Chains A and B, each alone.
Chain A
Amino acid sequence: MREVKIVSKRFDFEDSHTLEVAKANGAYGEALKKAYTLEPTQIIEVIKKSGLRGKGGGGAPAGDKWELMPQNSDKPSFLAVNCDESEPGTFKDRQIISKDPHLLIEGILITCRAIKAKHAYIYIRGEYKQFQDILQGAIDEAYADGLLENCDITIHRGAGAYICGEKSALLESMEGKRGHPRLKPKQKECEWYFGNPTLVNNVETIASVPYIIEHGAEGYRSYGTERSPGTLLFAMSGHVKNRGVYEAEFGTSMWEYIEHFGGGVREGKKLKAVIPGGASTEVLTADEATEAKLDYESMRSMGSSLGTGGMIVMDEDTNMVEALKNLIEFYHEESCGQCTPCRDGTGLSDKLLEKILSGHATSEDIDELLELSDTMNGKTICVFAPAVSGVINSFVGKFRDEFEAYSTSKKVAK
Chain B
Amino acid sequence: MSLVQVTVDDKTYEVKKDSLLIDLLIQEDLKVPYFCYHEALGADGNCRMCMVEIDGQKRPQIACDTPVKDGMVIFTKGKKLPIEKIRKDILELELINHPIDCPICDQAGECSLQDYYMEYGLHDSHMFGLEKVKHHKHIDLGSNVILDQERCVLCARCTRFCADVTKTHELGIVGRGDHAHITTLPGRKLDNPYAMNVVDLCPVGALTSKDFRFAQRVWFLESDESVCTHCAKNCNIYIDHNRLKYKDEKIYRFRPRKNLNVNGFFICNEGRLSYQNLLNNRLNRPSRANVDGIFKEALKNAKNIAILVDASLFNEEIELIREFAQKIGAKLYCPQKFYIDEDFEDDMLRSKYKAANIKTIQNLKLADEMPQNEDLIINFNHSAVLELDTSKVISFQTHKNTFNTILTIPIASYVENSGSFTNIDGITQYVEKVITLNEPIPTISEWFKRLEL
Contact = CB atoms under 8 A, between A and B. Distances in A.
Interface in B113-155: 126, 129-131, 133, 153-154
B389 to A, nearest CB: 63
A371 B133 CA distance: 21
Contact of A344 (B44, B173, B178): B178
Contacts, number: 94
A379 B176 contact: no
Contacts of A339: 45-48
Nearest to A379: B48
Contact of A346 (B44, B173, B178): B178
B93 A379 contact: no
A345 B59 CA distance: 18
A338 B46 contact: yes
Contacts of A355: 129-130
A183 B180 CA distance: 19
Interface in B80-128: 86, 89-90, 93-94, 96-97, 126
Contacts of A319: none
A360 B86 contact: no
Nearest to B86: A379
Contacts of B449: none
B60 A379 contact: yes
Contact of A375 (B86, B153, B154): B86
B43 A347 contact: no
A163 B47 CA distance: 18
Contacts of A334: 176-177
B47 A332 contact: no
B90 A375 contact: yes
The DSSP consensus for interface residues of chain A is: helix
B172 interface: yes
Contact of B93 (A186, A337, A348): A348
Interface string A323-352: 000000000111111111111111110011
A2 to B, nearest CB: 39
A380 interface: yes
A368 B129 CA distance: 14
Given A337-B179, A347-B177, A351-B130, A381 B93 contact: no
Interface in B47-77: 47-49, 51, 59-60, 65, 67
B183 to A, nearest CB: 12
Interface string B339-353: 000000000000000
Size band of the A side of the interface? 20 to 34
B187 interface: no
Nearest to B18: A186
B293 interface: no
A392 B43 CA distance: 30
Contacts of B180: 336-337, 343
Interface in B150-165: 153-154
Nearest to B81: A378
B175 interface: yes
A187 to B, nearest CB: 11
Given A352-B130, A355-B130, A336 B48 contact: no
A373 to B, nearest CB: 11
A340 B176 contact: no
Contacts of A346: 177-178
A178 B93 contact: no
Contact of B97 (A178, A338, A344, A374): A344
A338 B45 CA distance: 9
A280 to B, nearest CB: 16
Contacts of A338: 46, 154
Given A347-B133, A355-B129, A378-B59, A340 B45 contact: no
A178 B177 contact: no
A240 interface: no
B90 A333 contact: no
Contact of B176 (A333, A368, A378): A333
Nearest to B172: A178
Nearest to B58: A378
A175 to B, nearest CB: 13
A209 interface: no
B90 A161 contact: no
Given A345-B93, A378-B60, A379-B86, A183 B43 contact: yes
Interface string A345-377: 111100110010000100000001001001100
Nearest to B47: A340
B43 A341 contact: no
A342 B90 CA distance: 10
Contacts of B90: 340-341, 375, 379
B173 A337 contact: yes
Most buried by A among B60, B89, B177: B177
A340 B48 contact: yes
Contacts of B47: 339-340
A341 B93 CA distance: 7
Given A340-B46, A346-B178, A178 B129 contact: no
Most buried by A among B45, B67, B94, B176: B176
A367 to B, nearest CB: 11
A337 B176 contact: yes
A347 B178 contact: yes
Contacts of A371: 89
B366 to A, nearest CB: 51
Contacts of B176: 161, 163, 333-337
A371 B47 CA distance: 19
Contacts of B46: 338-340, 381
Contacts of B94: 340, 344
A343 B129 contact: no
A384 to B, nearest CB: 10
A375 B129 contact: no
Contacts of A186: 67
B45 A332 contact: no
Contacts of A374: 89
B64 to A, nearest CB: 9
B122 to A, nearest CB: 17
Contact of B126 (A161, A178, A345, A368): A368
B195 to A, nearest CB: 21
Interface of A: 161, 163, 178, 183, 186, 332-348, 351-352, 355, 360, 368, 371, 374-375, 378-381
Given A334-B176, A347-B133, A381-B45, 7 more contacts: A337-B175, A340-B46, A340-B94, A344-B178, A347-B177, A374-B89, A375-B89
26 contacts: A161-B176, A178-B172, A183-B43, A333-B176, A334-B177, A337-B173, A337-B179, A340-B49, A340-B90, A340-B93, A340-B94, A341-B89, A343-B93, A343-B177, A343-B180, A344-B96, A348-B130, A355-B129, A355-B130, A375-B86, A375-B93, A379-B59, A379-B60, A379-B86, A381-B45, A381-B46
9 shortest interchain CB distances as A-B pairs? A337-B180, A347-B178, A335-B177, A344-B93, A375-B89, A351-B130, A378-B59, A183-B45, A338-B46
